[in-house]
Structure 1
Amino acid sequence: MWTRELVVSAPGKVILHGEHAVVLGKVALAVALDLRTFLRLRPGAEGRLSVSLPGVGVRRSWDTPDLRALRERIAADGDESKSPSVEQLDALREFAGIAAGASAPDSLATLAFLYMCLAISAKYGDVPSVDIVVCSELPTGAGLGSSAAYAVCLAAALLMLCGAISCPLQEGESTARWTEEELTLINSWAFRGEQVIHGNPSGVDNAVGTWGGALRYQAGKITPLKRVPTLRILLTNTKVPRSTKILVAGVKEKILKFPAIMNPVLDSIDAISQECQSVLEAMPANPSAEHYPVLEEFFDINQHHLNVLGVGHPSLDRLCQVTASHSLHSKLTGAGGGGCGITLLPPDTSPLAVEAAKQDLCACGFECWETKIGAPGVTLHCCSSLSAQVLHALAQS
């Protein structure tokens, strides 16, 4: 029986450098974004497991015996190295009343929850009767790792409920984190959840959500950076929809058409990623203003490179122009073609300048958040340590 009320959180992510080049074997740097997803655990009605995701309109509840029978039916064997099979996912859709091919966030979130719950409990024992509520500061579909943050929170919560990992939060503590071995287990199960949602994810998003800080990704290998400073940024969502698949195909077509021109651009992006890694690892935890000029130059150069690759967009050009008028430096993050951009905020940036930039960006129809990168990974919280805003969001269930 679960008797405590606790909250698990995990960060989103942004790509700092290496967009598109990473698809062709170059280095990319992914950093944890201090906009987080929160999952609250609370003792529930005996013999029932409930999940509420008010942000995507999900409120479901199942009897434990029904879940146990479903687990046996889909032959969930609790092996975190195995991908979910088509037959297992079809059976889960049927059980949950989700239409074949449904790809809306509510359907995928429910499917991921059921799969992870049954597969984890197959190895470690039944999930106790709890009410689970999830809320997020991350917008969905913006390339900011919202699904991975959800999967990481689920993995940590379900593994803890089943006793596979410890409950590290001691009485009187506000937050706690798991051991490296436990984080590795959380990450492996979060990746399974990402497979349910995305099919063939890279594993970068869930790794950032698990370990936080910053990660280097190249040719399928993920390496945490040794030391990562916390940097203030302005995150801007242009709200312009884009197709990552089409943008990636466009870059490949350009490289095939102009290899002598485009390959040096990719090499330069790779060099920026590697140089930026060196700079970040040499910076103090709370860098001062003199550490920022080289990072700002990297932003400017890489933004031009990404436009050369053909993944820019007038909305992103406008974002860069607006922030430049306030002496700030920006670049797109992610697939491009719209989507999101990030702006560095050095410590000597006045609050008035930041507010003026935000107002100008919002006047363009964009959405802005003042936040940080280099945030901690998956974390366990006591409820009293959370902000009133987060507690209010978790109460909307």
Structure 2
Amino acid sequence: MLPEVLVVSAPGKVILHGEHAVVHGKVALAMALNLRTFLRLQPQSNGTVSLNLPNIGINLAWDIAKLQQLDMCFQETGDSWPAPSPAQVEKLKEVAGFAKTSADSGPDSEALGVLTFLYLYLSISQKQRVPPSLDITVWSELPPGAGLGSSAAYSVCLAAGLLTACGDISNPLKAGETASSRWTPEELELVNKWAFQGERVIHGNPSGVDNAVSTWGGALQYQQGKVASIKRLPALNVLLTYTRVPRSTKALVANVRSRLLKFPDIVTPILSSIDAISLECQRVLEEMVADPTPEHYVRLEELIDMNQHHLNALGVGHASLDQLCQVTSAHGLHSKLTGAGGGGCGITLLRPDLEQPEVEAVKRALSSHGFDCWETIIGGPGVTVHVAASLDAPVRQALAGL
């Protein structure tokens, strides 16, 4: 049975190593980011389901009886679900109140967020005689469109909240608990499957890495469509920097492919070297669990530097990322791009011996160039259910609409 309020959070992600090389069959290491998306779900009895997305100014409500008349026929097939059909998406767009968009332009990000919610709500609740009447607010610490898995964290939160509300998974919080809890591995598998469906609404043909990291947390190794959890890793302190420079992942991937075709004898060894960096980083991290030493951090820094140079050689660097690396290097720190490159985000490893005043000085220097900075942890927990009172005040206020 649901409590008066259910609060769920899920992390974003960073690619530690393996960007672009992963497209060509190499290993990528993806890690959960301790910037999170939060969902607040409250049962109600007014016959409506409402969605509030304060980050983007969305506040909508639908009559459940009218939603039931859609007859969307969301059917699962064995262990998987078919991708949302164009006809289903168009029907959802009509319900959401969005005008039809051309095949070329497609819905904008705000519309996609609403469509994803409606798709998951109708799909997950289709076995219910009457879908539950709910008030849902989703708020995020993650900047959208920065390559940090914000859409996956959104989909994971929705999947976990709706599956719990419909009784498909249990509420793992026990009476008397004062902080947080997580679902069983079997229940997390179901959350991950439905979150992937949400990602398909948004991205069409996602890899599944982002929702897997957001569901399971920690770190994952991804290669040729196979996702494997990496057990027992140390959490790493990093500075995450958003350059505010927009980029097209599709165009950057295409440019690397073009360079590979043009210079195969040069680019192929670069991709193989990035693969070796990913594997060596994984080895060092696993070694650090038992007894981390300063030498381990030196090796991680060397791998960061080498990979950043490789990524520049692939043509996915950017002047803003060069500037980021120069600023942090002046403070004795090591940085690389994370994600597609061409702007977007970079990560800087923060050694445990680094004093807080030094970190603040780096953040001020980066902010002076117009960058946004967050001091955070990678390798943290995946989707989690919380006791509402245990959340930090800013999160509680954001979810309450204050």
TM-score (norm 2): 0.95
Determine which of 228, 239, 244 is the counterpart of 1:223.
228
1:139 paired with 2:160, answer no
Residues 6, 161 of structure 2: 8 Å contact kept? no
- What residue number does 1:361 align with? 366
Aligned residues: 395
1:123 paired with 2:127, answer yes
The within-5 A match list for 1:69-148 is: 69-70=69-70, 72=71, 74-78=72-76, 80-101=80-101, 102-123=106-127, 126-148=130-152
Determine which of 297, 302, 316 is the counterpart of 2:321.
316
1:249 paired with 2:247, answer no
Q: In structure 2, the residue corresponding to 1:31 is in which secondary structure?
A: strand
- What residue number does 1:14 align with? 14
- What residue number does 1:339 align with? 344
1:284 paired with 2:289, answer yes
Q: How far is the alpha carbon of 1:289 from its aligned partner?
A: 3.8
* Uncovered stretches (5+) of structure 2, i.e. residues with no partner: none
Q: How far is the alpha carbon of 1:99 from its aligned partner?
A: 2.3
Change (3 A) 1:126 1:157: farther
Return the alpha-carbon distance in structure 2 between the equivalents of residues 124 and 192 of structure 1: 19
Return the alpha-carbon distance in structure 1 between the equivalents of residues 93 and 127 of structure 2: 22
Q: Which one-letter code corresponds to 1:150 in the other structure? A: Y
Determine which of 148, 152, 156 is the counterpart of 2:160.
156
1:50 paired with 2:54, answer no
The within-5 A match list for 1:158-197 is: 158-173=162-177, 174-197=179-202
Residues 328, 348 of structure 2: 8 Å contact kept? yes
State the superposition RMSD in angstroms: 1.5
Q: How far is the alpha carbon of 1:169 from its aligned partner?
A: 0.3
Residues 44, 50 of structure 1: 8 Å contact kept? no
1:206 paired with 2:211, answer yes
Return the alpha-carbon distance in structure 2 between the equivalents of residues 237 and 285 of structure 1: 33
Change (3 A) 1:124 1:45: closer
Residues 34, 371 of structure 1: 8 Å contact kept? yes
Return the alpha-carbon distance in structure 1 between the equivalents of residues 148 and 197 of structure 2: 18
Residues 75, 81 of structure 2: 8 Å contact kept? no
- Report the identity percentage: 62
Change (3 A) 1:124 1:31: farther
Change (3 A) 1:203 1:212: same
Structure with the largest fraction of helix: 1
- What residue number does 1:298 align with? 303
Residues 2, 130 of structure 1: 8 Å contact kept? no
Return the alpha-carbon distance in structure 2 between the equivalents of residues 50 and 106 of structure 1: 15
* Uncovered stretches (5+) of structure 1, i.e. residues with no partner: none
Return the alpha-carbon distance in structure 2 between the equivalents of residues 285 and 236 of structure 1: 30
Return the alpha-carbon distance in structure 1 between the equivalents of residues 346 and 129 of structure 2: 44
Encode CA deviations 1:197-256: one digit per residue, 9 max, x unaligned.
111100000000000000011000011112221100000000011111111111111111
Q: Which one-letter code corresponds to 1:51 in the other structure? A: L
Q: How far is the alpha carbon of 1:47 from its aligned partner?
A: 1.3
Q: In structure 1, the residue corresponding to 2:55 is in which secondary structure?
A: helix
Q: How far is the alpha carbon of 1:126 from its aligned partner?
A: 4.0
Encode CA deviations 1:174-206: one digit per residue, 9 max, x unaligned.
111000000000000000000001111000000
Encode CA deviations 1:307-350: one digit per residue, 9 max, x unaligned.
00000011100100000111111000000011100000011011
